Amino acid sequence: MKAYLFPGQGSQHIGMGKALYDHSAEARQLFEKANQILDMELTQLMFEGSEEALKETLIAQSAIFVCSTIVATLAHLTPPMAVAGHSLGEISALVTAQVITFEEGLQLVATRSKAMQACCKLIPGTMAAVIGLGDQLVQNICAAITAEIVVAANYNCPGQLVISGTQAGVAQASQALIQAGALKVIPLKVAGAFHSPLMKNAQKAFKSALDAITFATAICPVYQNVTGLPVTDPETIKQQLLEQLVSPIYWTATINQMEKDGITEYIECGPGHVLQKLVRKINPTAKVSSLMVG
C-alpha cells in the first residue's frame, strides 16, 4: 500500500517547479492561477528570486503548497490509499484527498502564513533541532524552564526533535540540552516559534478562513499531525488543522501508525527530500521515492 507525503516549510529552493512549468500546460495553468489568487508573481519569485525572499513565510508556504499540489495533480493520484503532510504540507494533502480544492487550499495557506507572520512580529521566537536525545528528556528540560516559553514542537524521527519558543527560552533550553548530552542543537532559520503557544493569535484569522470553506469527506485516510491518526471526517479534519498551529507535529507517530495500517511505500510529493529521509530513519525497511524532479 502506498502513502503520499507532502513537505512543509523549509523544503523550498530557487528554481523549484520550473521544469513543471516549462513542460506541462496543465501545470502552467495552475501556476498562473496561483499568481492570480495571491495577486503576486509567485512563479517569478520561485524560479528567479532570491533565497532571502523565498524564506519569507507567505512566499515559502505558498510556493511549497503550489509545487506539491501540482505534482500530485499531474500524477493523477486517484484514489490515493493514504495521505499525510508535515505542518503546511497537511493542507496540500487535503487537496489530494479531495477535502478542499486547489483554490481553497491556496487561500488557506495565504491566510495561515500571514497570520503566522504577524505572530512572529508580535513576539519574536525561534526553533532548534535537537539531535541525539530521547523525547522524554527533551520534554522534561523544556518544562523545567518556566520564566520563558519553550516546548517540543516537531517529533520528526527517533533522535531528532525540534523545540520552539521565545528566543531566550530556546537559548536556555539549548544550553541545558547540550549539558544533558545532546549530540547537536542546531538553530533553525525560521521566522518564529511555529507549533508553540506563541502562535495562539494566528488561530483567530485562520479559523475564520476555515469556517468560510465547506470541507468534504476525505476519499482516503488523512493522517493528521496533532494525533498521528487517520481521519476522514471533515469537521474533525478542520478542527485538528486549526489545533496544529499551536500543537506539536507527531511525525514519528504518523509514520508508525501508517506502518501498522499496512502502508509499505511512501511517495513524497513536492520539493526536497526531507520527508523521505525522515521515513527512512523511522522505518528503515520502507520503500521511499519522490514524484518531483527539480
Q: Which of 87, 92, 174, 247 is catalytic?
A: 87
Q: Which three cell numbers stand for residue 251?
A: 511525525
23 belongs to the catalytic site: no
Instruction: Specify the pairing of strand 249-250 against strand 265-268.
Output: unpaired
Contact criterion met (CB below 8 Å) for 192 and 223: no
Taking each continuous run of H as one helix and of E as one strand, the counts in the chain are 13, 11
Query: Cell 493542507 appears where?
Result: 91
Check 86, 195, 247, 290 and give the catalytic one: 195
Tell me the three cell numbers of residue 244: 496544529
DSSP bridge pairs for 3: 266
195 is catalytic: yes
The residues near 247 (Cβ < 8 Å, ≥ 6 apart) are 195, 225, 226
Q: Which residue has the cell 495553468?
A: 29
Q: State which H helix or E strand residue 260 sits in.
A: helix 251-260
Instruction: Please identify every residue annotated as catalytic.
Output: 87, 195
